Amino acid sequence: MGLTSQAAASTFADETRTNASLTKFLHGLPGVDQVGADERAAMLSTRSIKTSAKAEGIDLAISMIDLTTLEGMDTAGKIKTLCAKAQRPDPFDPTTPSVAAVCVYGDKVAQAKSYLTGTSIQVAAVATAFPSGRASRAVKLLDTSDAVAQGADEIDMVIDRGAFLEGRYLDVFEEIQEVKVACKSAHLKVIFETGELRTYDNVRRASWLAMIAGADFIKTSTGKVAPAATLPVTLVMLQAIRDFHNAGQRKIGMKPAGGIRTTKDALRYLVLVKETLGDAWLTPDLFRLGASSVLNDLLMQRKKLQTGAYSGPDYVTVD
């Protein structure tokens, strides 16, 4: 990442001066051809990936997972088993790569961190009154800096969808900027909750808004709202990332989250990334899968390729 987020903000200084200028810029972005986006995503998802390419794809997908638990009933024990699984997804096979990160609520960061010391696995925390984002800005910022103080390497924030839909883009913009400052060195992922944004045009606008404001990653959803990540929405966001980079800006990462359950789903996302952004983005630094159940399916598929026999849920850990 050669360019800093400040550089982006200064490049777009005119556009982000007032809500009116920001609205003019965002609404001036070319509209998304909905039918075209749906068709392209559907067409790319028919691609068949076999044998050695599939094996590589599975290992790559495992190494990109943000292994997530975001439940009210998360216990210390749950965090511990999650962290153990993150390091060694398949205890019987040490050649299995570890995942990219574990993603937890802010109050579980210190715990997760303690189980992951000495590993390259990042700890991501959701913040800013996740998942609704309905709290005052002061609370959101405190939520963020608290998670960072506990040692979070990455922060997953939610945008204020209400403000976005009301057209108060500048409020959303400034909030992302302030959260980015509160993150200090932690990476910032911005969640749009695309299921609540209604249109692909809104998804494209939100993508640009977040990227200009300083997001390191843009992320589809919280996983608490249906529909969560879909292929066409991810495609629209990947195209925004591509256009942003082509405009001489930083490389932004992408994280689809929620609803990704099977190996086939995961591989389809990888195809989408490769076809839209190229090999440069096929790294855990720039692409993540927000999911937990998909890991077991990836492990079963991995076993199938190794042994030639179908595996079953009895041979992977219960989450």
Partner 1 sequence: MSEHIEVRRTAKLFIGGAFPRSESGRTYEVKSPEGKFIANVAQGSRKDARDAVTAARAIQPKWAGATAYNRGQILYRIAEMMEGRRAQFIDEVSPWAKSAKKAEAEVDEAIDRWIWFAGWSDKIAMVVGSSNPVAGPFFNFSVPEPTGVVAAIAPSRPSLLGLVDTIAPIIVSGNTVVVIASEDAPMAAVTLGEVLATSDLPGGVINILTGSYAEVAPWLASHMDVNAIDLSGVENEKVAADLEKAAAENLKRSLRPGIELDGLTRIKNWLELKTVWHPRGF
Contact 105, 92 (CB under 8 A): no
Binding residues for partner 1, rule CB under 8 A, total 8
Q: Which span sits near partner 1 by CB under 8 A: 9-17, 61-69, 95-103, 303-311?
A: 303-311
Q: Which residues contact 182 (CB under 8 A, 6 or more apart)?
A: 141, 144, 145, 148
Rule CB under 8 A: say whether 308 interacts with partner 1.
yes
Of 23 and 262, CB closest to partner 1: 262
Q: Which span sits near partner 1 by CB under 8 A: 19-27, 108-116, 151-159, 302-310?
A: 302-310
Distance CA 118, CA 142 (A): 28
Distance CA 179, CA 170 (A): 14
Query: Min. distance of Cβ 308 from partner 1 in angstroms?
Result: 7
Distance CA 254, CA 272 (A): 11
Rule CB under 8 A: say whether 315 interacts with partner 1.
yes
Rule CB under 8 A: say whether 314 interacts with partner 1.
yes
Of 138 and 309, CB closest to partner 1: 309
Out of 140, 255, 265, 297, the active site residue is 255
Of 54 and 80, CB closest to partner 1: 54
Rule CB under 8 A: say whether 318 interacts with partner 1.
no
Which amino acid is located at 283 in the chain? T
Rule CB under 8 A: say whether 312 interacts with partner 1.
yes
Query: Min. distance of Cβ 303 from partner 1 in angstroms?
Result: 8
Of 309 and 318, CB closest to partner 1: 309
Rule CB under 8 A: say whether 46 interacts with partner 1.
no
For the question of residue 224 being annotated catalytic, the response is no
Rule CB under 8 A: say whether 51 interacts with partner 1.
no
Angle at 98 between CA 74 and CA 143, to 5 degrees: 40
Rule CB under 8 A: say whether 311 interacts with partner 1.
yes
Q: Which span sits near partner 1 by CB under 8 A: 145-153, 196-204, 285-293, 306-314?
A: 306-314
Distance CA 195, CA 20 (A): 26
For the question of residue 156 being annotated catalytic, the response is yes
Out of 66, 156, 265, 297, the active site residue is 156
Among 52, 77, 310, 318, interactor with partner 1 by CB under 8 A: 310
Contact 44, 271 (CB under 8 A): yes
For the question of residue 50 being annotated catalytic, the response is no
Rule CB under 8 A: say whether 278 interacts with partner 1.
no
To which residue do tokens 């299921």 refer? 195
Of 22 and 295, CB closest to partner 1: 295
List contacts with partner 1 (CB under 8 A). Answer: 308-315
- Give the residue numbers marked as catalytic: 156, 219, 255
